[in-house]
């Protein structure tokens, strides 16, 4: 059995230049007009660079944007669930015409050059329409005046509405992977690399666990169900940007290492990270997660409770249900439109927890007992307990992992205390 | 999504007569020549009666037998893994000619009539060849002089070699389901009935757990992995004949009821029994289990360690591996030959157990710890401990289930004691 092919039917589309091509383009880029880009666009560019966003080779045109928002289809009929846009202010884009080459820059570094094939305005109304189409869900926070609530509480919608008014579309040449190859050495793997690992191991049915939080018993259980039923599992952490207050990637990676070392059979696990920022788009982002995982060689995307959700914008299992509603939703239909359809299928798992009566991990599908029998902790409560050094209930997490998190929170507290001491002594004022 | 179609592309082929047709045929049967049949053939007939053996509508011809032994294909190219033969002694079959109608009888009851379309001899050499093709595995007991070892220790091969020398092939009309509808009321479900239940529940991805032993934590774990990843699970017990010393079906059914009531969410479980005898053919029988499960509406057959094995005749995971070696082994290939290929896929799960360090159930794929951390009991040792009233190690089985088994074994001991007392007092001699 072979690995699932990359999405889009064109193999891995990698826009990253190397060798002398890279050096020449860097020189050329220095002379081009520079456009500042967002952190999100930087992540998108690196994904295009390494083939993670195959078949995309640049930012979307108006037709692509419209098709993706409306039907999750690019203008050529290929499935894609979330817009990938490059925007610039009117001032920055002034004088840029179709046909021009520009350089895309962030914090002093040029990440790519782009040949502009289309320039179009995106009004406030357009963005609001996109927000409704892409980010609105069935959860409580999406009811009533969704946009008002989202503007206050939805980081994804906030980023969308903060996008500039001019869109620039066109193919890119990527010049840099930023800090990822050095900062996350050994963890930051490109799709070609995970594919090589899977092939060497003889795997073809491969599940991915999406992670943006530390891994506790419930995530471990999802992962182990995948190990029991697939050839192996890719524990795939977001190493791009998160909301403030979330646990940084290096701490999470350390937690996963420890967990894998102590509680997994290593032959069946690969740990890696990918350079995207969270969009918190719930169901649509779950589809994006499955789409780019296909490029990494994965054909089963684990979708648990409130996948990629934020606040109460999405129904707890809306990110599972959307897989039944996409174009070419069944594997049979998908096989009929080679290259166009998503081939990475969801591995849907219910709300999981430890249950004393079950004497082990379980989910709402397998445990007939009551709330009182189960160990359930909200993320907020857990963070509070960890930062206060409180005892975490038995069976919630692995002691080795909790020790790492405790140390991290102690460090945070120390930093805050030092800051407060400095403030009290007037040191900060000097 | 629809249920998987019955195997063979002809819908459910049910040879059981009902109503006036049944009454008329019963009268007609009384006047036909009677052939005594084995317990195995009785089970096979009932399966043909209720559609469990679709597309078979009778016992196999020589060409079918040869194709099935050699390539697992009937003469028309349809997948079938194990011969289903009717045999008679030379004396009993004397005077029976092709074209004749005969009645198939066991213990005074006529189970079917058959129109003989072929009559052929099966020599000792033929049976030995079948044994080698169908029953020989890769385990230790299959090495060396397989036939010699098998004749001593393999109940399936013993039954095969005890078959009579004349084979009679032809379509059957089934007249009786024997004791099953009354003795196992509510448990003995026909394929049409399980299909109706699955359809009512809206299931389409359905796993089956094959059971011939009481259900302990390890079986519960297999079942729960299926519940986590499929729409639901059919706990499907063999209620035909087993080897001496095995636990009778009514006790097993009671154990399952208790387990399901206390440890499962009932919405995701159906319990049923099927009327076949065990053949102990390991890998080939695992395929048979998947084949007839497809008729019951199941498309995922749980295959664990040493499925349908006996002694050390089969490699621990040979029954999983054979699914990769059958004709049309991949789902893609199977879809290309509608009706011919097996569509019920294996759900392969490794050796499972409770592990103290994992703090729950695990398998060799998910637990990195050592033998000492795991609760593993052989069936033999368990039976010994239960019959001696010894304490079973924690986490091996559910207390409610063990209580039922203890009671059964106490009853057995009492019976033996009463027998011994009677023998001692000479009562038996009266």
Question: pLDDT digits over B182-199, tens only?
Answer: 999 999 999 999 999 999
CB A15 within 8 A of CB A170: no
pLDDT at B141: 96
Active site residue B195: no
Question: pLDDT digits over A320-377, tens only?
Answer: 999 999 999 988 889 889 899 999 999 999 999 999 999 999 999 999 999 999 999 8
Instruction: Say which residue the tokens 């944007």 belong to.
Output: A65
Which of B:22-81 have CB within 8 Å of A? none
Instruction: Delineate the domains of chain B, giving CATH numbers in brackets.
Output: 19-180 (3.10.400.10)
- Interface with chain B: mutation pick from A228, A261, A369, A397, highest number of B CBs within 10 Å: A228
Arithmetic mean of pLDDT, B101-124: 97
Cβ of A381: how many Cβ atoms within 10 Å?
12
Residue B301 has pLDDT above 80, yes or no: yes
What is the DSSP track for B68-101? HHHHSB-TTS-B--S----EE-HHHHTT--TT-E
User: What percentage of chain A has pLDDT greater than the value 70?
Assistant: 96
CB within 8 Å of B371: residues ≥ 6 apart: none
Cβ of A91: how many Cβ atoms within 10 Å?
9
Instruction: Provide φ and ψ at A34, rounded to 5°.
Output: -100, 135
* Residue A418 binned pLDDT confidence (cut-offs 50, 70, 90): low
What sign has the CA pseudo-torsion B23, B24, B25, B31?
positive
Cβ of A47: how many Cβ atoms within 10 Å?
24
Q: Which is nearest to B305 in space by CA: B232, B378, B206? A: B378
Residue A188 Cα to chain centre, angstroms: 14
Which of A1, A262, A365 has the CB atom closest to B228's CB atom? A365
Question: pLDDT digits over B15-58, tens only?
Answer: 999 999 999 999 999 999 999 999 999 999 999 999 999 999 99
Where do the H-state alpha helices sit in A216-330?
Answer: 217-229, 249-263, 283-295, 318-321
DSSP structural state of residue B268: G
What is the DSSP track for A172-212? EEE---TTHHHHTTTTB--HHHHHHHHHHHT--SEEEEEES
d(CA A292, CA A55): 10
Residue A349 Cα to chain centre, angstroms: 19
Instruction: Provide φ and ψ at B16, rounded to 5°.
Output: -80, 125
CB A37 within 8 A of CB A280: no
Checking B17-20 for CB contacts under 8 A at 24+ apart, the result is B17/B173, B17/B174, B17/B175
Report CA-CA distances (Å) from B259 to A252, B189, B216. 39, 20, 9
pLDDT at A430: 40
Arithmetic mean of pLDDT, A87-101: 97
d(CA A50, CA A189): 9
CB contact under 8 A, B395 and A228: no
Arithmetic mean of pLDDT, B377-388: 84
Residue B387 has pLDDT above 90, yes or no: no
pLDDT at B429: 42
Residue A419 has pLDDT above 80, yes or no: no
Tell me the whole-structure pTM to 2 decimals: 0.92
Q: Which residues pair with B361 in a beta bridge?
A: B354
Q: Which is nearest to A347 in space by CA: B265, B228, B269, B232? A: B228
Active site residue B115: no
Q: Residue B55: is the preceding peptide bond cis (ω within 30°)? A: yes
Arithmetic mean of pLDDT, A380-404: 91
Q: From the candidates B213, B305, B383, B406, give the one annotated as an active-site residue.
A: B213
Question: pLDDT digits over A222-279, tens only?
Answer: 999 999 999 999 999 999 887 777 788 899 999 999 999 999 999 999 999 999 998 9
Compute the radius of gyration of chain B from its Cα atoms.
22
Question: In A355-379, which positions are buried (b, 16+ CB within 10 angstroms) versus exposed (e)?
Answer: beebbbbbbebbbbeeeeebbebee
Residue A416 has pLDDT above 80, yes or no: no
Q: Could you give the ipTM of this predicted complex?
A: 0.91
A224 to chain B: which residues are within 8 Å by CB?
A: 362, 366
A325 to chain B: which residues are within 8 Å by CB?
A: none
Arithmetic mean of pLDDT, B307-313: 92
Question: pLDDT digits over A158-197, tens only?
Answer: 999 999 999 999 999 999 999 999 999 999 999 999 999 9
CB contact under 8 A, A368 and B263: yes
d(CA B355, CA B367): 8
Hey, what are B372's tokens? 């000492």
pLDDT at B428: 44
Which of B:255-274 have CB within 8 Å of A? 262-266, 268
């Amino acid at each position: 059995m072979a690995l699932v092919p990359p999405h889009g039917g064109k193999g891995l589309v990698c826009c990253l230049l190397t060798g002398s091509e890279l050096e020449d383009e860097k020189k050329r880029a220095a002379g081009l007009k520079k456009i500042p880009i967002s952190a999100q666009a930087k992540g998108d560019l690196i994904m295009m660079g390494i083939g993670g966003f195959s078949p995309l080779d640049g930012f979307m045109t108006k037709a692509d944007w419209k098709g993706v928002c409306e039907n999750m289809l690019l203008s050529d009929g290929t499935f894609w669930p979330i817009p990938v846009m490059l925007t610039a202010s009117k001032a920055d884009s002034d004088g840029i015409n179709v046909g021009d080459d520009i350089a895309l820059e962030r914090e002093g570094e040029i990440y790519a050059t782009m040949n502009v094939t289309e320039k179009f305005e995106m009004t406030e109304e357009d963005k609001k329409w996109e927000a409704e189409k892409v980010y609105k869900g069935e959860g409580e926070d999406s009811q009533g005046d969704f946009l008002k609530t989202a503007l206050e509480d939805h980081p994804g919608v906030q980023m969308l509405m903060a996008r500039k008014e001019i869109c620039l579309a066109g193919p890119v040449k990527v010049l840099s992977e930023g800090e990822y190859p050095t900062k996350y050495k050994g963890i930051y793997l490109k799709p070609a690399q995970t594919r090589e690992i899977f092939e060497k191991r003889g795997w073809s049915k491969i599940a991915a666990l999406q992670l943006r939080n530390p891994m506790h018993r419930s995530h471990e259980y999802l992962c182990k169900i995948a190990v029991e039923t697939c050839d192996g599992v890719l524990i795939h952490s977001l190493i791009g940007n998160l909301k403030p207050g979330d646990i940084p990637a290096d701490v999470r990676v350390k937690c996963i290492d420890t967990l894998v070392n102590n509680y997994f059979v290593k032959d069946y696990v690969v740990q890696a990270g990918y350079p995207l920022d969270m969009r918190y788009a719930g169901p649509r982002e779950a589809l994006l997660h499955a789409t780019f995982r296909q490029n990494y060689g994965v054909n089963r995307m684990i979708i648990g409770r409130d996948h990629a959700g934020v606040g109460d914008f999405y129904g707890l299992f809306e990110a599972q249900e959307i897989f039944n509603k996409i174009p070419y939703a069944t594997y049979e239909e998908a096989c009929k439109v080679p290259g166009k359809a998503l081939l990475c299928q969801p591995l849907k798992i219910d709300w999981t927890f430890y249950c004393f009566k079950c004497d082990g991990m379980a989910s709402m599908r397998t445990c007939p007992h009551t709330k009182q029998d189960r160990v359930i902790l909200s993320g907020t409560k857990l963070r509070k307990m960890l930062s206060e050094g409180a005892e975490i209930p038995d069976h919630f997490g692995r002691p080795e992992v909790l020790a790492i998190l405790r140390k991290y929170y102690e460090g945070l507290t120390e930093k805050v205390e030092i800051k407060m001491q400095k403030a009290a002594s007037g040191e900060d004022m000097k």
